[in-house]
Amino acid sequence: MSFNNFKFKKEIMTQITEAGYTNPTPIQEKAIPYILEGKDVLGLAKTGTGKTAAFALPILEKLGHRDKKGVRALIIAPTRELAEQINNSIKQLSKLTNLKSCTVYGGVSSKLQIDNLKKGMDIVVGCPGRLLDHITQKHLILNKLEVLVLDEADHMLDMGFLKDIKKIMKETPKGKQTLLFSATMPQEIKTLAAEVLKAPIIVETEYKEPVKKIEHILIEMKSDEKKSKLVDILLEEKIDSTIIFTNSKHKAKNLSRILEGKKFKSVHFQGNLSQGQRERALDGFRNGEFKILVATDIAARGLDIPQVTHVINYDMPRTAEAFTHRSGRTGRANKSGTVISFSTSEDVKILKDIIKINKTKFIKK
């Protein structure tokens, strides 16, 4: 199947080609026709499967051209990074249309966001807290909304955004189309889907399966051996681009500085950074200025950096689900990847969970 089967407008097809898309991914192939028909959709797909384009392309097709009546599509995402990533995709795919989009999230000044909203936007991509602020202050009016997307819905629920999401939804028209995407299907997502979706089409693409094309290596050691072992691996392995995960902001910062001191091109990425610092870190990692990104789980979801060859779990994650999302940072776009996990005597329980729940097969070294 090719994107020609969807019969998108010429302006959109041109940008699909320019973006380097060839054939639709399974989530795109299954979801796009239903979204174009105006159906509510519950999309269950793991990270890295192309779900941003699965909802962005039909939204752009449906909106057509700018009509200045107000915000017609709202996409809610759990993190600033994912919001920016979605908006960048929308801007690229809508380049030949006159549709306008912007991002709205906390951690930065709201002035530019207010200015953008006053100018009039067709599509708004944002995080729940700041979106609700703008709605309360009447900067964001949603009475003309045609499509609402809840992306990474399970992550938003994990972060405690359920009340904010429900408040936002009360400000939207009853006749809108709603699309809900999630990597997992816990009871909370089933309940939310039942509340917000009308006769939804459920689209599944092996969302319960472990990430494929990824080799998992497990190295058992004592806690005080981690730093020296990490340096050995970084010197030995052919690592073009790696994300190292820790379980604390302080450790991410300190570990990155230790690696910098040993002449590695490293930068840290964690919740205490300002938005500007986050963007500089990610831009430097994307363009190759930094080969190593030392991060907390804030980087485990939503970041799409195709060149990542390795993920190193310096600290084992606290949940099997977090392990899946960390692993999903490599092996993207059908490329292979390697996940190296450091394990100490404290990690026995989480290892059992990962093996049982994720069906992960480790190579021990």
Q: At which of 178, 204, 230 does a domain end?
A: 204
- Percentage of the chain surpassing pLDDT 70? 96
- Taking 3-state DSSP, the helix, strand and coil percentages for the chain, each rounded to the nearest 5, stand at 45, 15, 40
Range 56-83 burial, b when 16+ CB lie within 10 A, else e: bbbbbbebeeeeeebbbbbbbbbbbbbb
Same domain, 200 and 54: yes
Distance of CA 113 to the CA centre of its chain: 21
Look-up of token digits 């006159």: 98
Question: How do residues 292-330 score in pLDDT, each as one tens digit?
Answer: 999 998 877 666 677 899 999 999 999 988 898 888 888
What is the Cα–Cα distance from 228 to 2, expressed in whole angstroms?
A: 49
The answer to whether the predicted template modeling score (pTM) of the entire model surpasses 0.85 is no
Position 131 pLDDT exceeds 70:
yes
Q: At which of 173, 204, 235 does a domain end?
A: 204
Would you state the pLDDT for residue 276? 84
Same domain, 226 and 170: no
pLDDT (mean) for 175-194: 90
Would you state the pLDDT for residue 328? 82
Same domain, 137 and 240: no
Q: At which of 179, 204, 229 does a domain end?
A: 204
What is the chain's alpha carbon radius of gyration, rounded to the nearest angstrom? 21
Would you state the pLDDT for residue 188? 85
Q: Which of 127, 172, 174, 132 is nearest to 150 (CA)?
A: 127
Position 264 pLDDT exceeds 60:
yes
Same domain, 97 and 222: no
Distance of CA 45 to the CA centre of its chain: 12
Q: Which residue range(s) make up the domain with 23?
A: 3-204
Q: Assign residue 64 a region: left if phi > 0, alpha if psi is -120 to 50, beta otherwise?
A: left
Question: How do residues 265-298 score in pLDDT, each as one tens digit?
Answer: 999 998 888 878 888 998 899 888 999 999 998 8
Determine how many CB atoms are found less than 10 A away from the CB of residue 303: 25
- The CATH number for 51's domain is 3.40.50.300
Question: How do residues 193-208 score in pLDDT, each as one tens digit?
Answer: 999 999 999 998 854 4
Q: How confident is the model at residue 209 (pLDDT cuts 50, 70, 90)?
A: very low
SS (H, E, C) 233-254: HHHHCCCCCEEEECCCHHHHHH
Q: Where are the alpha helices (DSSP H) in the chain?
A: 10-18, 26-36, 51-63, 80-93, 111-119, 128-136, 153-158, 162-170, 187-196, 226-236, 249-261, 275-286, 320-327, 348-358
Question: How do residues 28-87 score in pLDDT, each as one tens digit?
Answer: 999 999 999 999 999 998 777 888 999 999 999 999 888 777 999 999 999 888 999 999
Are 301 and 155 within 8 A, CB to CB? yes
Q: How confident is the model at residue 334 (pLDDT cuts 50, 70, 90)?
A: low
Same domain, 57 and 183: yes
Enumerate residues 6+ apart whose C-beta is below 8 A from 69. Answer: 144
Would you state the pLDDT for residue 330? 87
